[in-house]
Amino acid sequence: MSKKNTIQLDAEKKQILKEYRHLLRSLKPKIKNSSDKADIRRAFEMAVEAHKTMRRKSGEPYIHHPLAVAQIVVDEIGLGTESAICALLHDTVEDTDLTLEDIEMNFDKQTAKIIDGLTKISGAFEMNIDTSQQAENFRKLLLTLTDDIRVILIKIADRLHNMRTMESMAAHKQMKIASETLFIYAPLAHRLGLYNIKTELEDLSLKYTQPEIYKEIAQKLADSKKERSKYINEFINPLKDLLIEKGYNFEIYGRPKSIYSIYNKIKTKHVPFEEIYDLFAIRIIVDTEIEKEKSECWGVYSVITDLYTPSTERLRDWISNPKANGYEALHTTVMGPQGRWVEVQIRSKRMHEIAEMGVAAHWKYKENSTDNALDEWIEKIRETIQNPDTNALEFVTNFRQELFSEEIFVFTPKGLLKRLKAGATALDFAFEIHSELGLKCIGAKINHKLVPLSHKLQNGDQIEILTSSKQQPNEDWLKFVVTSKAISVLRKTLQEEKKKMSELGKETFEKKLKQFGIPYTDHNINVAVKFYKYLSPFDLYFYIQTKNLTLTDLKDLKIQGGKLMLPTAKIESKETIEETVKKELKKNAELLIMGESSNQIAYKFANCCNPIPGDDVFGFITIGEGIKIHRTNCPNAVQLMSKYDYRIVRTKWNKQHEIAFLTGVKLNGIDDVGVINKLTNIITGQLKLNMRSISFDTDDGIFEGKIMVYVHNIEQLDKLIDELSKQQGIFSVSRIDENEMKN
């Protein structure tokens, strides 16, 4: 070995030991005895030995990864020695020669069980596998959440470190991992109360999925930092004096909003960075005893609203009714100096630790708390996924939707509080109380007023459910229920009913075949299914019973040797679209839109985002429609890239041949005389663009308009937006998507 290599290896060993000692220092308050310290040392040595020949994409020894994951688990999630041991060993059973038996022999059954859970769920978030298999994997992962939540917490720490160290990966790999992270890891971290980790995962995902936007917002935040700090001090100083005067023991500071949340506001509210007023929030943390928390937080709120005028519509009381993940705080928005709205968050020290550390802190404090919302949520997951009739794909879809959902608080007739997903209906509430109550529900009384099943509930509603023994659920109910429990129970019940109908249809089918002289065989059953274009015999039998399918057409089919023969049809090529594309495109090549490959490969522009030349785009291989071209910031991009990355084609624009693309802008401003004439002169006169349509609505002197126009590329569209934005009296101008064009 060369001297240079020896020096490098020595340096690497020193760095590894340095990181290990850092982990030990972090664990020191949690190490209960010498046995704990010995176990950590043993886990470290086993991990080093198991990964000794492995290196990461960056070239560094692989052991840095499990060490970093363990550090995150301890410092940022707040878990203890057993979790640190599991984090150190989390990849060993899957990637090395170590076995679960080795783990159990060196530690204990619980440690082996957690590592077994981490090994089993390693593919649960992989999006480039069959969707139903992915869903089933994910359901298994959630079973580990209900069994030992540390499995998912370590998995989130694992993903966070991977996101922090993606620089060495290829761009398409970065895009895939970032999209997966936005799709499920960030929502899970949110639901588990890991707000700091959730925020960092979102920011890092944006950094790799929309790098230019990320850099632009980060730069603007950096440029405005001095001005922001000056304003925060102007807001805080008089408030600090009042709180000290009242005798509160507190900490107060300004916290900048995340880049991802600012990006979302720019996208959803269609306003530029400069017009977003809440780029930061003021946080006040009160150091007090648990029994005085509520009164002192409200006392601080009183001091704030004595000094600054509050917006009554923007008060959020999560102290009286904590969120399902255990989050507690008072949020209010007040009018600060210079006429600017400022969000203020008020928490106790205990509440702050729960907000920072999520579930780990929740369990630390729950012995002193009567709130068990997070435990109730986990129990609901257990009930749903342990139901053998629950469709995995449907469950995962519904579960993910609920991860980020807001909550409402409603009451039973006896005054018991119930948490439901925002948008829940009277029928959702009935299922929340009991499955049988939901199935027999015919209506409800809300605040003593009669309402239908589909009535949406509001915060504070008191609900009495009305039932009938004659009531039967139907598929229309699925159109308005929103909670996972209601959807799961309904689907199961309807499926059981469908099964009964299918059994009756099967009897009818057998009789009909006998009547037509056709043998009742598996072959003939499958031919009938294909002939009537159903997905399975089950569906065929169901529709025979419910739609009175006569089956008389079967008499006209040929029978050879007792076998039904389908009418001959043109045999289609067995080549899939994906195989065709792979033949046409060289490995790692890009699809050139309007270029050479466009003469060979069919592609269309996706209606969901309406790309135009110059947009950052990617191709998505569809079934039956060739390749669809999407913008990388398309609303569907994250899901497509995370779930179907193997169907993504790298795509770029080739030189255009003056082809015009329909796009549109929306704008608002002051409804002044001649405003439409002024705008159309800019579009058709100054910029020489063709308009397809223009529409304006006015209300109390303010107009909102939509202009459909043909452009050749993104530069022309940007120029149009820039010119319109310069006009006096125009408040905002932004591009609109295809769905808005159709409205």
Helices (H) and strands (E) in the chain, counts: 30, 22
* β-strand pairing of 603-605 with 591-593: unpaired
Other Cβ atoms less than 10 A from the Cβ of 202: the count is: 24
Residue 283: in which H helix or E strand, if any? strand 280-286
Beta strands 316-317; 591-593: pairing state? unpaired
Structural tokens at position 67: 């060490």
Task: List Cβ neighbours of 411 (8 Å cut-off, separation of 6 or more).
Answer: 417, 418, 460, 461, 462, 463
CA proximity to 453, closest of 426, 428, 474, 431: 426
Q: What share of the chain is helix, strand, coil (3-state, %, to 5)?
A: 55, 15, 30
Burial 364-383 (b: 16+ CB within 10 A, else e): eebeeeeeebbeebbebbeb
Query: Is 389 annotated as catalytic?
Result: no
How many Å separate Cα 652 from the centre of its chain?
A: 28
Q: How many CB atoms lie within 10 A of CB 387?
A: 14
* Structure tokens that stand for 304 in this block: 């704030």
CA–CA separation, 547 and 743 (whole Å):
36
Catalytic status, residue 353:
no
- Residues 6 or more apart in contact with residue 430 via CB below 8 angstroms: 437, 438, 441, 444, 465
Nearest of 602, 641, 630 to residue 737 by alpha carbon: 630
Query: Catalytic: which of 10, 94, 234, 718?
Result: 94
Determine contact, residues 273/262, Cβ cutoff 8 Å.
Answer: yes
Backbone angles phi, psi at 609, to 5 degrees: -135, -10
**Cα 648 to Cα 629: distance, rounded to the nearest angstrom:** 10
Question: Which DSSP state fits 434?
Answer: -
The long-range contacts involving 127-133, CB below 8 angstroms and separated by at least 24 positions, are 127/176, 127/179, 127/180, 127/183, 127/642, 127/643, 127/644, 127/645, 128/176, 128/643, 128/644, 128/645, 128/646, 131/393, 131/643, 132/392, 132/393
Residue 562 CA to residue 523 CA, distance in Å, equals 10
The CA-atom distances, in angstroms, between 405 and each of 190, 269, 376 are 10, 19, 16
Closest CA to 421 of 438, 403, 407, 434: 407
CA quadruple 317, 321, 322, 328: dihedral, nearest 10: 40
Token duo for residue 132: 């139903």
Name the residue type at position 690.
Answer: N
- Which residue in 95, 102, 539, 723 is the catalytic one? 95
- Separation CA 302–CA 297 (nearest Å): 9
Calpha distance 485→495 (Å, rounded): 15
Question: What long-range pairs does 122-127 form, CB within 8 A, spacing at least 24?
Answer: 122/94, 125/159, 125/180, 125/184, 125/185, 127/176, 127/179, 127/180, 127/183, 127/642, 127/643, 127/644, 127/645
User: Which tokens belong to 243?
Assistant: 């709180």
Hey, which residues does 251 pair with through a beta bridge? 285
Cβ atoms of 611 and 617 closer than 8 Å: yes
Report the first-to-last Cα separation within the chain, whole angstroms.
70
Q: Which residues are identified as catalytic? A: 94-95
